[in-house]
A and B are shown apart, each in its own frame.
Chain A
């Protein structure tokens, strides 16, 4: 089958999985202006931004020959669970007949999950399927590990753009690896490469860390969030994202009773502000800000698609959390009209503010008590 999938974050992962199951993978192009325009043209005006971008990337993938779309049903009761219906209907009305395979959590709806796996498996032997799944899982973990380093080193790189280039290369290496051993090698090599990036030495008190939280798609996909991580890095801030694929997969694959994941801990932290799951990632966003506050991050950037229902609830609550934990938060809502041009100054001003606040805080204390703060650049 000629299969495609929505573009989000480190796409090598999905590509690899589908390839290992013996499919012809049509890699959707990384979303560009054209993708977005295409999506906007066909989607409902007030659909969430992710829906529009994904719509656009489906059109592009179909033009490249995709026949089947594999996607996930989204988290919790929000619109994402309905995306596929709208996408399919719109494609249909434009005369495209494509199949959708929608994955929901394995434990929330095991029947569909296995039916989907069966469909996708085709003639691949089960043992091979299992092996592929494990291999992919291993790969996601490794990639996430390296990416965290990237997000930190890039803040101090001497040669602009070097880290990002190396990161691209690393992903390519992983794309070419098909066994545990070669993965391991790619991982080791990647780590070495990153460690050899020449970096500026920056004084402890000048180092700032900013967390990124918000709706999963705009947090994970840098082509639609104005490359937020790189922007912050280039302003000299270390960055950590609230979501990494490995966390997401683990959280969604584990049954409730043994779900001691980071995600669950974060949800707990969100509880005082939003006691129940209200859909999307609102409670995670809120909990994650608390987490960053507790870990003494210097600031948080909150990303949301324009008009995103649950994130509007978090946005309403953020001033309170920001006050409670004394951590500055900048909310940026993204849609087809958002551009870096009209946001760059906001972001710069925010980073300045964060920096100033940090100085203030440190001056207040006589001795630097930052032993607890682990920096990814210095640790292994």
Chain B
């Protein structure tokens, strides 16, 4: 029995958790390939045209898993991981989109409701009962697996907070050998010793860490010698504090995190500019993007929006990003010269 996990959407945030969980239960998993042209095309083909890219791509991943012979497909229904907040409607309705578009898939989908009060998914065992029934697992083993998953995920988050990007953090947390966190941390410092500019990149994990969707924006920036900060590298308490000063927040957890991160970047003197990477047609982003953009002049920090979809061209993106980075560098040098004079 193999469970397929689509390498899309919140895979990028919860993969260490899910993988550890299934491994501990000795349930075999197949992961879909990193997004590629075929996956993208399939997803586009079976989605309604106005749908945002990440959801289209998700469908492509699900279809690939079926082709690869997965017996089950893991499509959790993300409802809420914070009190009074929800996920983007498309997340809440994701299993419905899939099962009604492909009725033959309904029996093989495993779609637990994710409803908890923290982003640690191990807090409510209820969500995992479905595996006990389907795979004949005892409650005790289930709990144990959750514990393992939780601890690996926590260390993954810890790495993120130390400035590792998601893929590094995932790899490190999952085969954490001999090196301690401290050693890792010192390495990070060395690597980024003198970045010329630091950019806060605002975007959902499933966009910016999917190198096809985002046209590899993170690596492009790194190649230009830019240090990148993203929302998941910021401590949750810091984000919450940002939000508490805002009269009304958005309804969606990750959008709120981005909104808070954006505000944090404005106040963080280390950050020279902000790039908002947003999927064409993303509703939540249109709101938070506008509010942040309006604040840009107030904080005198450049803010750029990069809109991506299945037709985005690499050259165009490269040019815009280069221009933005150059501008930041010039601005910084000028300030430095000004300070010296």
Interface residues of A (CB under 8 A from B): 43-48, 77-79, 81-82, 84-86, 89-90, 93, 273-276, 278-280, 282, 306-310, 312-313, 315-317, 319-321, 333
Contact = CB atoms under 8 A, between A and B. Distances in A.
Contacts of B251: 77-78, 81-82, 279
B93 to A, nearest CB: 4
B79 interface: yes
B286 A316 contact: no
Closest 5 CB pairs of A and B: A313-B93, A46-B286, A44-B290, A278-B92, A77-B251
A276 B79 contact: yes
A85 B248 contact: yes
Given A48-B283, A308-B283, A316-B101, A279 B48 contact: no
8 contacts: A47-B286, A85-B287, A274-B96, A276-B77, A306-B50, A307-B283, A313-B89, A316-B47
Contact of B97 (A275, A317, A333): A317
A267 to B, nearest CB: 14
Contacts of B130: none
A174 to B, nearest CB: 35
A179 B330 CA distance: 70
B88 interface: yes
Given A82-B248, A274-B96, A312 B289 contact: no
A79 B283 contact: yes
Nearest to A274: B96
Contacts, number: 111
Contacts of A84: 248
Nearest to A86: B287
A93 B248 CA distance: 18
B287 A79 contact: yes
B247 A85 contact: yes
A273 B100 CA distance: 8
Contacts of B282: 46
Interface residues of B, number: 36
B277 to A, nearest CB: 14
A47 B291 CA distance: 12
Given A46-B286, A274-B96, A316 B252 contact: no
Among A79, A85, A319: residue with most chain B CB under 10 A: A79
A355 to B, nearest CB: 26
A307 B291 contact: no
Contacts of A43: 290
A282 B291 CA distance: 26
A44 B288 CA distance: 10
Contacts of A90: 290, 294
Nearest to B293: A44
A316 B281 contact: no
B285 interface: yes
Contacts of A45: 286
Nearest to A317: B100
Interface in B212-239: none
Contact of B93 (A89, A282, A307, A319): A282
A321 B291 CA distance: 38
A315 B100 CA distance: 11
Interface string B23-55: 000000000000000000000000110110000
A312 to B, nearest CB: 6
Contact of A46 (B88, B93, B283): B283
Contacts of A89: 290-291, 294
Nearest to B59: A316
A35 B103 CA distance: 43
